[in-house]
Amino acid sequence: MEPDASLAVQMRGIVKEFGTFRALDHVDLAVKRGSIHAVLGENGAGKSTLMNVLYGLYRAEAGEILLNGERVEITCPTDAIAHGIGMVHQHFMLVDNFTVTENIVLGDEVCGAAGVLDMKRAREAVARIIETYGLEVDPDAKIEEISVGQQQRVEILKALYRGADILILDEPTAVLTPQEIERLVRIMRELASAGKTVIITHKLKEIKASSDACTIIRRGVQVGTVDVSRASEEELAELMVGHHVNLVVEKAPAAPGETVLSIRDLVVEDERGVEAVRGLSLSVRAGEIVGLAGIDGNGQCELVEAITCLSRAKAGTIAVHGEEIQNTSVRNVHAHKVATIHEDRQRRRLVLLFTVAENAILERYRDPAFGRRGILDRAAMSSFAEGLIEAYDIRPADNADKPARALSGGNQQKVIIAREVSGEPDVLIAVQPTRGLDVGAIEYVHRALVAERDRGTAILLISTRARRGHERIRHHRRHLQRQDHRHVQAGRGRREPPWPPHGGR
Amino acid sequence: MLNNLLLLIGITLMYSTPLVFGALGGVISERAGVVNIGIEGMMTVGALAGAAVSFFTGNAWLGFIAAGLAGAAFAVLHAVAAVTFKADQNVSGIALNLLGPGIALFAARLFWGGGTQSPSIETLPKILGKGALAGTPWANLNVDVTVIIGIVAAIAVWFVLYRTKWGLRVRAVGEHPAAADTLGINVGRIRFTCVVLSGMFAGFGGASITLAIISQFTQTAVAGQGFIALAAVIFGKWTPHGAYGACLLFGAAQALVIILGGGVVPVPSELLACLPYVLTLVVLVLFVGRSVAPKADGVPYEKGVR
Amino acid sequence: MTRQTQGAAAAQAGMVQRILHRPITATLIAIALGFGVAAALLAAAGYDPGASFAALFEGVFSKPKYVSNTIIKAAPIILTGISVAFAFKTGLFNIGAEGQYIAGAVCAVLVGAKLDLPMPLQIPLVVIAGVAGGALIGAITGALKARFGIHEVITSIMLNWTMLYLNNFVVQSAAYHRPTSTSSIPVNASSFTTILPAWKTSDAGLETLRQVPWLYDFLVKTDVNIAFLVAVLVAVGAWFVLFRSKLGYELRAVGFSRDAAEFAGMPVGRNTLIAMAIAGAIPGLAGALMVTGVEPHSISTLAGFENYGFNGFSVALIAGSSPIGCIFAGLLFGGMIYGGQSVQMAVGAPTDIINIMIGTIVFFVALARVVPLVADLLERRAQKRGARHA
């Protein structure tokens, strides 16, 4: 690869090692100016590492970086910013209780004399960029008050404010719903047509819609660069994983039985007393998976908390096998054999400092099987945990006495699935169960859910990011279309029957 | 009545001032994300340094400055442990609370022939000069100059935190250090500076006891004021103005004890002495409630770990 | 280098690695550094460090009486240490052990000075009163946190002072004040938890004990009492509750991850209250045992804190929050406090040097995590060297 001034970014022979582990092995990357370029790879393939090298967060052991055909040294983010590179991290780097403007100008503040902030001028500067690129976000809103999509726009604004010509977006679609992804793609196109260069990393989805060219990395080695318009999704996936993958989970047709979980006219308020769920009705039968989708912050979080009795239902009923469970206790919900798999596994479903064995009994430690008279039966605990570890292939295999935080995200989720499913639940609430997992683990989770369905569990799959924000369920009636998922409709305080009734397959 | 009211104001200001300095130190450090339990120790070091320099030079102002410097120098220990080595901030803070009085008393015995008590020392002036308005109730308002310095310091800390570039960065570092880091802000340096500054303020706080209120160094000069200041930081929700208010409230309660203790109410003095502490809890329960610390408070920042 | 010596060197390096990675190593290094810093300070101030440390050790070990006094001094801070450690393990910060200790002592006096039952009834009642007093203070702290979200550090600090003044109130009250003194009346003799209190001072007892001089020294010249034995039992008990009982499992789950515990159906507020009540009961026990076990068996007007609670903090930190470790850390601490008094007598150095030593030790305990890092660094270097050799 020769220096080429028409290429905004050239990375040549990049090598990055962590201890003895070689995360990047002579990776090349060439990105045309004014294009949208995707870097594709599984979790841990090294795509984020490569981007962090470009942004100066990591230093490469070998290799060089050229911008517009000229060799540059990037040793820290400040260098990258100075060279017109901006990065939007997968986990947003935003200060929650700062305003949008404060977040954008942080580190490059508009000041009067003696370091005194001039927020009026800062706000004007921010408003100008918002207008130029149509990024639509309120410069005075606090970060904790806006939706994830808007937060991402703030991150893009941060880069543009610093005069970025090259924008790196690390897994930008992972946190977005389809509607928001469409919007992001529009923004990226807008940026590219304004002459900016956009590099995005991806696991797979949406790549066809959003990118021009795509570089694929597998286990730290660059596999190739392809023109996106000429490759199929399956081909890309195969390049990524190294063997043929099945993107569709094979499963038998569902054979639903009687209704197990039924929710009628449910109203739940969020922390601020705003009705987040308004008159929701749905039912789930044994042996079927019902999908519930919508944009982030649409009340799913409140719905889950109401079902699990962590928050109060203001009106309406939640019944399992006809018995109402709303506004009782979490333990009563467990007693009705309702299990939960949660996207926020580290905070919600695991005690990270507990061992795997201790986590395995988190909801069942009071069971006499794990000790009588208030004393824990350590032997029973570890044999139970070892059973789960073997049955659910949790790796490494000798982890029963290791703290849960030592496990990978996929294996943490396996611990939770093992625990929840081993109780043979009648109802399984799965909230974004595959979020943040790599392709292999996602396939595992999907199989586990289908296996549960086939066992006769009623599964409510909430498949977009549930997060508090301004937008609520009632605004959104677009739902996930999957073979096995029925549609669910949320009413605007009106009584509406589920629609379509028991269908959609 | 007027006399009592003015007395109340005067004593309130007197008692609250050392707390104000200590609490401001706590606010600065904790807003940058470093928990500072060691205020008590830092105040003790400041109290000793101020008294010693004033004693040996005869200049109370030099003593006051020396107290700030000594507190800052002592706080470097906490900064090195908590920021440089990312140690447990609580443990390191407790260590400072043990070391501070240890060093101060050790030094006091060396300076003053084996006793832990200094002779009477030169003190800082009153705002209107010594003896002004003497004999009138208004003399109660002729408070120590440290009261004014405390108010100015509180305003300055507020201004710096909320109106300057550096303050914005301090708050960002305390809430989300990784975000600050990616924007080229040196998290370690800001935290280190804030811890050292917090030591300086705590040192002033100690000196405002020895150089103004009791005009000597004694073993019990600080005696728990640093912990009250720590409580004021939390009470004031980690803001300079909130902490100042909390210190005033506490000082007022103390003043009330003094005034009521003069035989106004038939309550045993020991029970009356509980008033400030019980009152603080009551105010917390009724009016303040849950206070939320800066998100990264107490969490060492390590690059690349999220 | 031959292959054999290389292998031996590698094995040796491996052993050093393992030793450096053990938590106890870091603690021992911290203790050594504490002595080092103190030696430097003493030398700088013109005292002989060697003689000072000799005096310290002699002050603890040279007579059975000293050993006995060290153990007596250690017992309450072992207990407050266990309390702080217990709270730590359940995610709480018990800076209120000081006030809980005072509450225990006050309640023991309130009951023990007025009640005079046969010993087998009297002792449990007095001790339970102390335990209840401490537990109540802890429970208030826990309840305010659980119900109103008030930080336990504020509540603890306020309650410490409140208890100090309540202690003084009881001392000065008409019912409990001992005339012309700054103390309360003592608890009745039936409450004494001193070991063999009556027998050892009786003629027969004295006669027997004179035959065994060290035991005479140990028993008669000091207030040897059951507190240390109780502390050991409490340490084992605290360990058992935390790591072997379902209650402890719940308390730790709530402490480590409030959200996960809530999602799993555990009552978070109630557990916070229980954890603080248990943490408060232990210093309460210490207070009661000191009143019943040590002369003058009463409480006195306090001008400031006696630091039982704050010393417990240091003990818990040195022990790495292990209840069992608190026994050893508490003995170390008790030895330094008691032996430290001899330093001033022997070489004239201020006893405050002991506080500096303890502070230094705790400071380096804070830095303990650096030791394994150093070990890793050494390992990496060794590996690189090994790679080069190969």
- Per-residue pLDDT band for A487 (boundaries 50, 70, 90) equals very low
* Residue B157 within a domain: yes
Q: Among the listed ranges A160-164, B87-91, C204-208, C290-294, which one has the minimum average pLDDT value? A: C204-208
In a domain, C42, yes or no: no
Confidence label for C83 from pLDDT (cuts 50, 70 and 90): very high
Of A351, A370, A378, the CB nearest to C260: A351
Portion of chain C with pLDDT greater than 70, in percent: 89
Which pLDDT score, from 0 to 100, does residue A468 have? 30
Check residue A285 and give its pLDDT. Answer: 82
Let me know: does C233 contact A335? Beta carbons within 8 Å: no
Q: What is the pLDDT of residue A471?
A: 27
Neighbours of A42 (CB within 10 A): 20
Higher pLDDT, A433 or A82: A82
Is residue C319 a part of any domain in this protein?
yes
CATH of domain A7-241: 3.40.50.300
C250 reaches A (C-beta below 8 A): yes
Q: Is the per-residue pLDDT at A248 higher than 70?
A: no
pLDDT category of residue A496 using cuts at 50, 70 and 90: very low
**What residue numbers bound the domain in which B265 lies?**
2-117+142-288
Please, which residues 256-315 of chain C have a Cβ atom closer than 8 Å to chain A?
256-257, 259-265
CA distance linking residue C47 with residue C52, whole number of Å? 8
Average pLDDT across chain C, whole number: 85
Is B183 within 8 Å of A76 when comparing Cβ atoms?
Answer: no
Best mutation target, B44, B235, B274, to test chain C (most C CBs within 10 A): B274
The share of chain A scoring above pLDDT 70, in percent, equals 82
Contacts A347 to C, Cβ<8 Å? 257, 259-260
Choose among A345, A300, A320, A248: nearest CA to A463.
A300
Neighbour subunits, A (≥3 Cβ pairs < 8 A): B, C
**Residue numbers of A between 481 and 500 with CB closer than 8 Å to C:** none
Q: Is the pLDDT of residue C310 over 50?
A: yes
Residue B177 in tokens: 């250090």
- Which of B165, B172, B306 is opposite residue A98, by nearest beta carbon? B172
* Residue C222 in this model has a pLDDT that exceeds 90: no
Helices (H) and strands (E) in chain A, counts: 14, 18
What value does the mean pLDDT take over residues A384-396?
79
Pick the more confident residue, B166 or A421: B166
pLDDT value at position A498?
29
pLDDT score for C9: 62
CA distance B191 to B177: 10
Higher pLDDT, A180 or B176: B176
> In this predicted structure, which of A82-96, A267-281, C303-317 has the lowest mean pLDDT?
A267-281
What's the domain range around C210? 68-328
When pLDDT is averaged across residues C105-117 and rounded to a whole number, the result is: 91
Residues of chain B scoring pLDDT < 50? 305-306
- The answer as to whether C17 is a domain residue is no
Model pLDDT, residue A489: 33
B87 contacts chain C (CB < 8 A)? yes
**Which chain B residues are within 8 Å of A163, Cβ to Cβ?**
none
**C-beta atoms surrounding B180 within 10 Å:** 27
Residue type, C361: I
| pLDDT of A478 | 28
A19, A351, A378: residue with CB nearest C257: A351
A469 pLDDT higher than 80: no
d(CA B182, CA A284): 46
Output the pTM of the full model. 0.82
- pLDDT level of residue A480 (50, 70, 90 thresholds): very low
Nearest CA in chain A to C263: A348
Among A483-492, B50-59, B203-212, C368-377, where is mean pLDDT lowest? Answer: A483-492
- pLDDT in the model for residue A300: 73
How much is the mean pLDDT over chain A?
76
Q: Where are the domains of chain A?
A: 7-241, 256-337+426-505, 344-423
Q: How far apart are CA B189 and CA A136, in angstroms?
A: 35
Which pLDDT belongs to residue C321? 85
Dihedral sign for Cα atoms in the order C200, C203, C206, C207: negative
pLDDT reported for residue A205: 59
Round to whole Å and give the CA distance between C94 and C85.
Answer: 9
CB pairs under 8 A between A and B: 64
Chain C residues whose CB is inside 8 A of the A362 CB are: 253, 260, 264
**Given a cut of 50, is residue A466 above it in pLDDT?**
no
Q: How many domains does chain C divide into?
A: 1
- Range among A69-73, B113-117, C63-67, C71-75 rated most confident: C71-75
* Cα dist from A55 to A22, A68, A77, A78, C259, whole Å: 19, 16, 6, 9, 35
Query: Where residue C234 falls among pLDDT bands split at 50, 70, 90?
Result: very high
Q: What is the pLDDT of residue A475?
A: 27
Q: Is A340 on the interface with C (CB under 8 A)?
A: yes
pLDDT bucket at A204, cuts 50 / 70 / 90: low
Q: Is residue C7 part of a domain?
A: no
CATH topology for A256-337+426-505 is Rossmann fold (3.40.50)
Instruction: Flag whether B134 is in a domain.
Output: no
Say yes or no for a CB contact (<8 Å) between B168 and A158: no
| Chain C closest-CA separation from residue B224 CA (Å) | 9
Per residue in A102-156, pLDDT (tens digit) is 999 988 888 887 788 888 888 888 998 888 887 888 888 888 888 778 888 899 8
Question: Is a pLDDT exceeding 70 seen at residue A1?
Answer: no
pLDDT at position A488, please? 37
Contact C257 A375 (CB under 8 A): no
Domain at B152, CATH number: 1.10.3470
State how far the Cα of A65 lies from the Cα of A8, in Å rounded to an integer.
10
Cα distance between residue A143 and residue A137, in whole Å: 10
CB A189 within 8 A of CB A67: no
State the pLDDT at residue B172. Answer: 93
Look at chain B and report how many structural domains it folds into. 1
